[in-house]
Amino acid sequence: MAIDKNPLETHFSLAIKKGTPVLEGLLLKKNRWMMKQERRFKLYATGEIKYYKDQELKGSMQLSKDSSARKISRNEVEVKLNAAHKTYILI
C-alpha cells in the first residue's frame, strides 16, 4: 500500500528541518464581529499555518486541496479556506 505524502512536505523536506517554519510574517483576519486583527503566522511544510498574538498561540489552520491562494498586491497574499469559509491575508 502506497502512502501519499503532502506535496509541500515532499518538496521542502530536503531543504528544511522538520518542524521548522517555511515562512513567517503577518496575517490579517476578521473576528466574529468583522473587525480586523493582526497576528504573526508561521507556515510549515505540512501545510499547517499557526498564528499568534504576542507569543500566545491563538489558532491554526490546515491548507488542503480546496484551499486557494492569490497575490492581491505586491506584498500581500489572500488565502481562502473554502471548507471553513474563511479568508486570511498574509503580509
Domains and CATH numbers, the chain: 7-90 (2.30.29.30)
Q: Terminal CA-to-CA distance of the chain, rounded, Å?
A: 40
pLDDT, position 82: 81
16-69 tens-digit pLDDT: 677 888 889 888 887 778 788 888 999 888 888 999 999 999 989 888 888 888
* Confidence label for 1 from pLDDT (cuts 50, 70 and 90): very low
What's the Cα-to-Cα distance from 30 to each of 46, 86, 90, rounded to whole Å?
Answer: 24, 9, 13
* Confidence label for 15 from pLDDT (cuts 50, 70 and 90): low
pTM: 0.68
Q: What's the one-letter identity of residue 56? A: E
Q: Which long-range contacts (CB under 8 A, 24 or more apart) does 23-27 make?
A: 25/90, 25/91, 26/90, 26/91, 27/51, 27/88, 27/89, 27/90, 27/91
